[in-house]
Amino acid sequence: MGLLDGMPTSLADVQRSSMATAGLLARLFERHPDLPPRFEAACKAMVEGQTPAMVIGLDRKEIDALLALGGKYLQVGQIEQAKEWLSLVCTLDPLEQRALYLLGVACQTSGEYGLAAQMYIRFLALDATNPEGYLRLGECFLANAEPDQARGCFEMAGHLCGKGHGTDKAREHAERMLAALPAQSK
């Protein structure tokens, strides 16, 4: 099974998911008119594009502090704690690129390549010119025995580094990974 199996592949998939969520919320409010008005207001705010962090009033400094805590746990090898804190940040602010990337690293470190790949794809959706996301995604594909997909990621990382995105270290890593791959299958 491929790492990306089951993920949305088109705008129509995303729209269907969004419509299903909106329908679920409408049924929830219809069946439970006793829900606190504040809950309904919060849900409506999120449907309109506010993050949960915005709805509950967390500011950037507070999100950064939670992110730093998750990053520290990751640095010292406490992967489960890192995943807990980084998941919280991703829940509170689904567009927080750093949390998506670090949660991907934590999942990859613990061998959860499918989850890691999903985090890296979300990260790359927000910053498609960051070669580090492609490198990590390629490593996940490689670990999942998908060398052709890995090759595409490593090639993209090298290309982006050649265009001035990323570091020499990232470019060298992409080159090493490409050199280590078997000949491309047809």
Confidence of residue 186 (pLDDT cuts 50, 70, 90): very low
For 70-117, what is each residue's pLDDT tens digit? 999 999 999 999 999 999 999 999 999 999 999 999 999 999 999 999
Q: What is the pLDDT at residue 1? A: 75
**Cβ contact 45:55 at 8 Å:** yes
CATH number for the domain running over 56-111: 1.25.40
Q: What is the pLDDT at residue 184? A: 65
Looking at the chain, the whole-number percentage of residues with pLDDT higher than 90 is: 70
Residue with tokens 């980084």: 86
C-alpha dist (Å) from residue 21 to 39, 46, 71, 93, 156: 16, 11, 31, 18, 34
Which of 25-29, 136-140, 142-146, 179-183 is predicted with the least confidence, judged by mean pLDDT?
25-29
Q: What is the pLDDT at residue 43? A: 85
Query: How many Cα atoms are found within 13 Å in the side-chain-facing hemisphere of 123?
Result: 23
Q: Where are the domains positioned within the chain?
A: 17-50, 56-111, 128-181
Nearest to 173 by CA among 146, 142, 128, 148: 142
How crowded is residue 123: how many other Cβ atoms within 10 Å of its Cβ? 25
Output the CA angle 77-83-87, nearest 5 degrees.
155
**Cβ contact 101:120 at 8 Å:** yes
Q: What is the pLDDT at residue 182? A: 83
Average pLDDT in the 142-161 region?
A: 97
Q: What is the pLDDT at residue 113? A: 97
Average pLDDT in the 122-142 region?
A: 97
Looking at the chain, the whole-number percentage of residues with pLDDT higher than 70 is: 97
Mean pLDDT over the full length of the chain: 91
Helix 97-109 to helix 131-143 angle (10° resolution) is 30
